[in-house]
Amino acid sequence: MTGTIWKTGFEIELLAPRGKTRADLAHALAAKHGGSVNRVFYPQSEPSLAPSVQVFENLILGFDAIDESGNRVALCVDDLTINADLNRSAPPLDGWMRIVSDDGRLLSLVSKVCDPDASIEDVLKPVSSLFNTPLESEGGIFKTSDEKKRPIALATGLPGERERPCEIITAPLEDNRAEILGELLGTAKALGFVIPKEAAVHVHFDARRLCDARVLSRLIYCLAKHGKALRAHVGTNLNCVRLGPIATNLIELASDEAFLRASWDEARQMLLACKPTKYCDFNFLNIAAGFEAKYTFEVRIFPGSIDADEVCGFANLFERILNWAVDQDRPACPDTIERFL
């Protein structure tokens, strides 16, 4: 038994067989529920090769499978870290594209005014209209700029089999997660989806019960102490590139008396001042930033899986750790992880 069940969201990275796409999985899932699929933009970032730009922000195509009542079954999106199993020289499929910018704020604006169902030739026209500037095109790439010719975004085809990676994003689940994950992953397996080389499973836990400096201190200390052992126990995929230990300044903050005495609003600002990153073993950024749409604590160390029981086991393990952290009457952090297994 894990004690209290936490509301959890799952991100499961898979790969479609050649000849199929993540859209096929979304349509298969929607059909099981008498629903439909909405084509959507989904934001992702990637390191830039341009010397003057650190990160390129992307809007990639996602497919939101909804049931007959309009509730999400699953969102199927690309994951730009999945590359090893793809044919980089494959041409783009008709209708598949991405939108790129060097400024996440501009890309957020683009996502609000552009239609993901539009063609690549037309998708950026609303942005050009907004700035009253012409839409430029060259070699199948479409670019929009402001009145001072400063680039805003460009739309380009999606070569290299980028239609095949599929990160399944679930709605928040509670005690029904085994059944739901079984259906999602069973459908994927039936279509021939497999685990890619760089795959991971990420689990988001509702962070509202963690909004206490002393609770968070216990959790950070425990994960800093046992992070390596937990990675070894779950079998973290060494091919994953966006992982890493908890930052030293975050560990130091967790034992700071000023932090331990702080109200939650004060503690959250102190967390934010540590500049936590999403791309590490344990993601505290969403809590620190107070993102209402994703107010979660994320665990990123789990290896790729297409087995619902295994994925549920990952969540159960960390529920035991979280239940220990929130119960301040429990003893101090155990010396080994055996107590949580």
Look up the domain containing 220 and give its range. Answer: 201-340
- In whole angstroms, what is the distance from residue 101 CA to residue 88 CA? 22
Lowest mean pLDDT among 135-139, 174-178, 230-234: 174-178
Nearest to 26 by CA among 58, 71, 62: 62
Nearest to 325 by CA among 172, 207, 198: 207
| Residue burial 260-294, b: 16+ Cβ < 10 Å; e: rest | eebeeeebbebbeebebeeebbbbbbbbbeeeeee
The answer to whether position 19 is within a domain reads: no
The single-letter code of the amino acid at 90 is A
Nearest 5°: the CA angle 283, 288, 290 is 110
User: Which pTM does this prediction carry?
Assistant: 0.94
DSSP conformational letter for 149: -
Strands (E), the chain: 8-15, 36-47, 55-66, 72-77, 97-101, 136-138, 141-145, 151-157, 165-169, 200-206, 282-283, 296-303
The answer to whether position 68 is within a domain reads: no
The answer to whether position 84 is within a domain reads: no
The answer to whether position 264 is within a domain reads: yes
- In whole angstroms, what is the distance from residue 39 CA to residue 310 CA? 30
- In a shared domain, residues 308 and 218: yes
The yes-or-no verdict on residue 291 having pLDDT over 70 is yes
pLDDT at 52: 62
Long-range contacts of 112-118 (CB under 8 A, 24+ apart): 114/41, 116/39, 116/40, 116/41, 116/61, 117/39
Burial of 44 (0-12, 13-18, 19+ CB in 10 A): middle
Tell me: the pLDDT tens digits for 102-122?
899 999 999 999 999 999 999
The answer to whether position 7 is within a domain reads: no
The answer to whether position 324 is within a domain reads: yes
- In whole angstroms, what is the distance from residue 144 CA to residue 113 CA? 13
Residue with tokens 């155990």: 334
Mean pLDDT of the chain: 94
- In a shared domain, residues 317 and 210: yes
Contact of 262 with 212, CB cutoff 8 Å: no
- In a shared domain, residues 240 and 295: yes
- In a shared domain, residues 205 and 153: no
The yes-or-no verdict on residue 1 having pLDDT over 80 is no
- In whole angstroms, what is the distance from residue 80 CA to residue 315 CA? 24
- In a shared domain, residues 248 and 121: no
For the record, the structure tokens of 45 come out as 């970032």
- In a shared domain, residues 152 and 211: no
- In a shared domain, residues 214 and 293: yes
- In a shared domain, residues 141 and 205: no
Q: Count how many domains the chain has.
A: 2
Of residues 4 and 69, more confidently modeled? 69
Looking at the DSSP assignment, which residues form a beta bridge with residue 156? Answer: 98
Q: Give residue 5's pLDDT band: very low, low, confident or very high (50, 70, 90).
A: confident
The yes-or-no verdict on residue 2 having pLDDT over 70 is no
Crossing angle (nearest 10°) for helices 264-273 and 213-234: 50
Which residues 6+ apart lie within 8 Å of 209 measured at CB?
6, 215, 322, 326
- In a shared domain, residues 332 and 263: yes
- In a shared domain, residues 151 and 269: no
Tell me: the pLDDT tens digits for 127-168?
999 999 999 999 999 999 999 999 999 999 999 999 999 999
pLDDT at 120: 97
The answer to whether position 106 is within a domain reads: yes
Report, as an integer, the average pLDDT of 230-247: 95
